[in-house]
């Protein structure tokens, strides 16, 4: 039988081991540096038919913040009211390139009405290809947009989409574009699905521009789906729940932590978003990185 001293010594050692184990687990399970929200484009088939019911479903999934992408035939005021009824906030809103070019003041007013403090441009028109000239022209326009946004109390972000990751003098055309934009005003939203699809390494991209990456679109590319530089679109079946595809998500999340990313927006473009979104959210809650 143990003596009392031996028993207490055993307890002390066990406690020390438990503390060490807890510390190791804590180190392995780093936490996200920002909030997890939902990009509403994921539910674009549902929102026009049942705005309140769909937003209530979003809240029930566990989200508290969303990113806007369109008004679904409503006014900004109506969307804001529906968000408030559902207990949701909208810190960020996507606005089209054309809207920001032709009606900047209106776009900014809409974003503020929704409650957003950020405006994101998700696409640069490139029907004839994304060329160096297109990249530099867009950079000049975005510098002006970002300056005006700052004057309106908003921040401006550009969302990468895959067509930018083709070779250029600076590395890729994304590098060309980034080098021509104002680093103090033009920040980036890295869509990890489209970055990988377009031929980039999402984690390396976040690391390279870590001081400018403020948000992510978190989504995953089906294993085995072909990757080709410059690709910007994929069919719905290429989109799978986060953690189930070929994006190295732990590496992405480690890079995002180093960059102090502020928002992680789940986006699902599959044919079954209501099934996939909870799986993606569960992955982000439990993933070790």
The mean predicted confidence, pLDDT, of the chain is 91
pLDDT tens per residue, range 232-256? 999 999 999 999 999 999 999 999 9
- Grade residue 31 by pLDDT with cuts at 50, 70 and 90: confident
pLDDT tens per residue, range 218-237? 999 999 999 999 999 999 99
Closest to 159 measured CA to CA, from 112, 107, 215: 215
Determine the Cα angle at 271 with ends 270 and 276, to 5°.
60
For each of the domains in the chain, give its residue range(s) and CATH number, in order of start: 31-286 (3.20.20.150)
User: Residue 109, SS3?
Assistant: helix
Q: How many separate helices (H) and strands (E) can be counted in the chain?
A: 11, 12
pTM beyond 0.85:
yes
| pLDDT above 50 (res 272) | yes
Give residue 262's pLDDT.
97
User: Residue 238, SS3?
Assistant: helix
138 and 156 in contact (C-beta within 8 Å)? no
């Amino acid at each position: 039988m143990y003596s009392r001293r031996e028993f207490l010594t055993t307890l002390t050692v066990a406690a020390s081991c438990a503390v060490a184990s807890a510390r190791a687990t804590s180190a392995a399970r780093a936490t996200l540096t920002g909030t997890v929200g939902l990009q509403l484009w994921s539910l674009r088939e549902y929102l026009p038919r049942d705005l309140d019911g769909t937003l209530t479903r979003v809240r029930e999934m566990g989200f508290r913040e969303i990113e806007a992408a369109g008004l679904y035939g409503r006014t900004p005021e109506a969307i804001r009211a529906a968000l408030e009824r559902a207990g949701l906030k909208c810190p960020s809103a996507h606005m089209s390139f054309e809207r920001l070019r032709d009606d900047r003041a209106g776009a900014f007013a809409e974003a503020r009405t929704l409650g957003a403090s950020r405006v994101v441009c998700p696409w640069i028109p490139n029907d004839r290809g994304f060329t160096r000239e297109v990249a530099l022209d867009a950079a000049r326009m975005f510098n002006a947009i970002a300056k005006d946004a700052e004057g309106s109390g908003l921040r401006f972000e550009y969302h990468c989409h895959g067509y930018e990751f083709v070779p250029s003098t600076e590395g890729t055309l994304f590098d060309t574009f980034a080098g021509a934009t104002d680093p103090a005003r033009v920040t980036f939203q890295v869509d990890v699905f489209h970055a990988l699809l377009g031929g980039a390494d999402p984690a390396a991209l976040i690391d390279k521009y870590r001081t400018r990456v403020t948000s992510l679109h978190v989504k995953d590319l089906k294993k085995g789906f072909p990757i080709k530089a410059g690709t910007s679109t994929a069919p719905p079946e290429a989109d799978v729940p986060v953690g189930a595809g070929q994006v190295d998500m732990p590496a992405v999340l480690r890079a995002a932590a180093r960059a102090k990313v502020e928002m992680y927006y789940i986006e699902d473009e599959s044919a079954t978003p209501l099934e996939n979104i909870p799986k993606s959210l569960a992955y982000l809650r439990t993933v070790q990185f």
